[in-house]
């Protein structure tokens, strides 16, 4: 049996273990059921999520009880302890906020494996009709979301001390559970690597370590929240939401005079990245980038585990394995490309936001019109689209590089290694001869255009010749003789253009900050319009100049009201309030005449008024 047959059989075995549970495979093969330990490890995620539902609901209700609502219903007025209680708990705020930027990313990193594992198990093992599997998957996603919501709600709550304590206890329980799973299911139980399921159990610690690191970060984060909360309680410090320091410094930087002598930038600052101390990425972008790296790591790790198991089963040391080497090289190159693409998300986000703040809209399409619905949908859809396209971009680029690697191996390396170098050189020389002939004709046209068919420079200081024809008769003859040759050359250029366009589109499929459609068809690229809606929504909600203006306006208004200073603009509302107050006073005194005698006496008040009030009160 050759290597390709072994590879195909082992690949089918891997897919069987991956897409079916152990019980299904045992029923198909007629073997005995797996042990209780393997069953426990197989259902560990589902068991942990179900056990976490009750504590999660309790924490959510407790945080909701501490939140206050502005609107109080009539049924609550009889219960003083419930007035305005049980408001909405906000798990996260992605509308350009700067709080918990890294914490949200690590919280998503600790939650994502549960979501993937439980949804895949539900889709593959649920005994429901096919048209109900999507509904079952949505229910599984809802269950995971409820179980993991305290990790986010405890970060975003205004009651920092309570959220820190609850979040620390909850994240610590999850950390201990995952540590137990790593110790029991990855180290103790697997004893042999003959089966792919056992091999995956042993190598599965590569998936568990990032999740443990994320949970460990959350434990430390909640611990720091508790320490800061205790310090603020001891100092009787009341935290007030105001203007952020980076926004204030950004406006100060804009109002400052520019330096007369520009600062010289290094090569790294000019060509790669320049750090801006007055700009901060919002928590949505940080969380998206962290999850993109996590998804890329998970995909690469799964490919490597499958590759290691396949090569250990079918690799033959007597002959070079070009397929395996090409596969590993393509994985490395695609991973490096994806890392660069993920980093470019930060670069282009800052570039586009700063351009919009400066009033430069060249980053937008020419006929782009802001749609409020598109902006809101961009805030909702961007993180999910970016993560999914990052994974797909890696897979597509890796397969494309693997195909090019195999083509290079079979067209170049294998003929040389099999002592067919003479024939290979003959084929290459023939192909290159045709290529160089076409290249020479193209160069001849360019040379004639530059030397004979363009007029001389009008000034010695000009860099290029003017666009003015010279030797027109010779130009018309050359145009006639090269007409049909350029048709043939155009057919070849069409193939080259098609290959280049396909390669660029496939390589940039994860770069949603730039359209893959040509100019005029950008609207057909929905992912690109998701990016545009997101940056426009961020520009409208987190512009530092607008926020500073609103903050100063609100502060000035509140100070004016406290000091009793009213301008001419609010004189009319003040007079209306005075008339309304006097009407209520008169109505109260008419209904309760005895209160007239209890009012404060003034110097100009007549005694007859008091006598009349006394008589009316006695009559009543």
Domain boundaries, the chain: 36-237, 273-542, 577-619
Query: How far is Cα 452 from Cα 450, in angstroms, rounded to an integer?
Result: 6
What's the gap between Cα 320 and its chain centre? 42
DSSP state of 515: -
Nearest to 162 by CA among 239, 65, 55, 54: 65
Cβ atoms 283, 155 nearer than 8 A: no
pLDDT tens digits for range 396-410: 999 999 998 888 888
Collapsing DSSP to helix, strand or coil, 101 comes out as helix
Helices (DSSP H) in 452-543: which residue ranges?
472-481, 483-507, 526-541
pLDDT at residue 10 is higher than 50: no
pLDDT tens digits for range 55-92: 888 988 888 888 877 776 666 666 666 666 777 788 87
Query: How far is Cα 601 from Cα 175, in angstroms, rounded to an integer?
Result: 72
pLDDT at residue 290 is higher than 80: yes
pLDDT at residue 620 is higher than 60: no
The dihedral built from the CA positions of residue 301, 304, 310 and 311, taken in this order, carries a sign that is negative
Residue 209's Cβ-count burial label (10 Å; 0-12, 13-18, 19+) is: middle
Query: How far is Cα 387 from Cα 400, in angstroms, rounded to an integer?
Result: 20
Collapsing DSSP to helix, strand or coil, 93 comes out as coil
The total of other beta-carbon atoms located within 10 Å of residue 567's CB is 7
pLDDT at residue 568 is higher than 70: no
DSSP state of 594: T
Query: How far is Cα 195 from Cα 263, in angstroms, rounded to an integer?
Result: 63
The total of other beta-carbon atoms located within 10 Å of residue 247's CB is 21
Query: How far is Cα 103 from Cα 217, in angstroms, rounded to an integer?
Result: 8
Which residues are 454's β-sheet partners?
469
Tokens of 97: 């906020």
pLDDT at residue 506 is higher than 70: yes
Distances from the Cα of 157 to the Cαs of 92, 97, 272, 287, 595, in angstroms?
Answer: 9, 14, 38, 18, 48
Query: How far is Cα 306 from Cα 196, in angstroms, rounded to an integer?
Result: 9
pLDDT tens digits for range 588-612: 877 777 777 777 666 655 555 655 6
Left, alpha or beta for 471 (phi > 0: left; psi -120 to 50: alpha)? Answer: left
Query: How far is Cα 285 from Cα 269, in angstroms, rounded to an integer?
Result: 22
Cβ atoms 530, 385 nearer than 8 A: yes
Query: How far is Cα 286 from Cα 289, in angstroms, rounded to an integer?
Result: 5
> Can you give the pLDDT at residue 24?
41
Percent of the chain with pLDDT over 70: 75
Mean pLDDT of the chain: 77
Q: What is the 3-state secondary structure (H, E, C) of 104-133?
A: HHHHHHHHHHHHHHHHHHHHHHCCCCHHHH
What's the gap between Cα 165 and its chain centre? 28
Token pair 């160089």 is at which residue? 436
Query: How far is Cα 91 from Cα 344, in angstroms, rounded to an integer?
Result: 28
pLDDT at residue 514 is higher than 80: yes
Cβ atoms 304, 200 nearer than 8 A: no
The total of other beta-carbon atoms located within 10 Å of residue 248's CB is 16
What's the gap between Cα 124 and its chain centre? 28
Q: What is the mean pLDDT of residues 1-9?
A: 45
Query: How far is Cα 80 from Cα 83, in angstroms, rounded to an integer?
Result: 6
pLDDT tens digits for range 296-323: 998 898 888 888 777 776 655 555 577 8
> Can you give the pLDDT at residue 316?
54
Query: How far is Cα 464 from Cα 330, in angstroms, rounded to an integer?
Result: 44
Nearest to 441 by CA among 492, 393, 402, 400: 492
| Continuous segment of H or E residues that includes residue 96 | none
pLDDT at residue 120 is higher than 80: no
Enter the pTM of the model.
Answer: 0.73
Range of weakest confidence among 256-270, 441-455, 460-474, 496-510: 256-270
| Nearby residues of 277 by Cβ (< 8 Å), 6 or more positions away | 249
Collapsing DSSP to helix, strand or coil, 454 comes out as strand
CA atoms in the 13 A half-sphere facing the CB of 523: 8
How is 340-392 classified by DSSP, letter by letter? HHHHHHHHHHHHHHHHHHTT--TTS-TT----HHHHHHHHHHHHHHHHHHHHH
> Can you give the pLDDT at residue 338?
92
Cβ atoms 184, 41 nearer than 8 A: yes
CA atoms in the 13 A half-sphere facing the CB of 457: 7
Place 13 in a pLDDT band, splitting at 50, 70 and 90: very low
Place 211 in a pLDDT band, splitting at 50, 70 and 90: confident
Phi, psi of 508 (to 5 degrees): -105, 25
Distances from the Cα of 217 to the Cαs of 106, 172, 208, 210, 304, in angstroms?
Answer: 7, 10, 14, 11, 27
> Can you give the pLDDT at residue 394?
92
How is 145-170 classified by DSSP, letter by letter? HHHHHHHHHHHH-S-HHHHHHHHHHH
Which residues are 469's β-sheet partners?
454
Place 293 in a pLDDT band, splitting at 50, 70 and 90: very high
């Amino acid at each position: 049996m050759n290597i390709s047959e072994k590879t195909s059989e082992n690949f089918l075995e891997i897919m069987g273990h991956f897409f079916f549970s152990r019980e299904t495979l045992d029923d198909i093969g007629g073997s005995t059921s797996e042990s209780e330990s393997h069953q426990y490890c197989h259902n560990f995620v589902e068991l942990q999520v179900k056990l976490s539902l009750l504590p999660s609901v309790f924490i959510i209700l407790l945080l909701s009880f501490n939140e206050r609502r502005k609107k109080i219903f009539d049924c609550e007025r009889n219960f003083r302890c419930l007035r305005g209680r049980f408001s909405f708990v906000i798990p996260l705020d992605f509308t350009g906020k700067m709080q918990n930027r890294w914490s949200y990313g690590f919280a998503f990193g600790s939650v994502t494996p549960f979501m993937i594992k439980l949804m895949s198990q539900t889709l593959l093992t649920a005994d429901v009709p096919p048209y109900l599997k999507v509904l079952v998957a949505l229910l599984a996603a809802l269950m995971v979301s409820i179980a993991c919501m305290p990790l986010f709600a405890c970060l975003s709550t205004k009651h920092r001390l309570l959220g820190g304590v609850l979040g620390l206890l909850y994240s610590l329980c999850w950390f201990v559970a995952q540590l137990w799973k790593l110790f029991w299911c990855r180290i103790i139980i697997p004893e042999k690597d003959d089966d792919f399921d056992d091999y995956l159990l042993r190598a599965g610690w590569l998936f568990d370590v990032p999740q443990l690191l994320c949970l460990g970060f959350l434990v430390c984060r909640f611990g720091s929240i508790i320490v800061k909360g205790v310090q603020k309680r001891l100092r009787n410090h009341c935290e007030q939401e105001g203007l952020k320091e980076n926004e204030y410094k950004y406006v100060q930087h804009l109002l400052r005079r520019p330096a007369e002598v520009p600062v010289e930038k290094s090569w790294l600052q000019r060509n790669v990245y320049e750090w801006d101390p007055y700009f901060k990425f919002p928590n949505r972008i940080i969380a998206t980038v962290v999850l993109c790296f996590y998804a890329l790591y998970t995909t690469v790790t799964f490919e490597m585990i499958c590759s290691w198991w396949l090569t250990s089963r079918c690799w033959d040391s007597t002959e070079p394995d070009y397929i395996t080497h090409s596969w590993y090289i393509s994985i490395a190159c695609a991973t490096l490309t994806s890392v660069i693409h993920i980093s470019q998300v930060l670069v282009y986000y800052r570039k586009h936001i700063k351009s919009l703040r400066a009033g430069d809209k060249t980053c937008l399409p020419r006929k782009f019109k802001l749609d409020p619905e598109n902006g809101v949908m961009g805030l909702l859809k961007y993180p999910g689209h970016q993560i999914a396209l990052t994974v797909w971009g890696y897979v597509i680029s890796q397969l494309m590089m693997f195909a090019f690697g195999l083509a290079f191996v079979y067209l170049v390396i294998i003929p040389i290694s099999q002592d067919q170098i003479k024939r290979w050189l003959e084929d290459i020389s023939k192909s290159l001869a045709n290529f160089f002939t076409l290249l020479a004709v193209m160069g001849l046209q360019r040379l004639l255009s530059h030397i004979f068919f363009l007029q001389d420079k009008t000034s010695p200081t000009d860099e290029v010749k003017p666009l003015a024809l010279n030797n027109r008769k010779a130009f018309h003859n050359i145009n006639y003789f090269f007409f049909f040759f350029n048709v043939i050359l155009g057919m070849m250029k069409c193939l080259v253009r098609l290959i280049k366009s396909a390669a660029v589109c496939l390589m940039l499929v994860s770069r949603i900050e730039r359209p893959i459609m040509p100019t005029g068809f950008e609207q057909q690229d929905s992912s690109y319009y998701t990016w545009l809606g997101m940056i426009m929504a961020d520009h409208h909600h987190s512009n530092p100049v607008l926020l500073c203006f609103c903050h100063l306006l609100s502060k000035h208004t509140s100070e004016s009201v406290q000091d009793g200073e009213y301008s001419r603009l609010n004189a009319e509302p003040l007079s209306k309030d005075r008339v309304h107050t006097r009407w209520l006073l008169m109505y109260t005194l008419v209904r309760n005449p005895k209160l007239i005698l209890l009012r404060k006496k003034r110097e100009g008040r007549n005694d007859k008024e008091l006598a009349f009030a006394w008589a009316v009160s006695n009559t009543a």
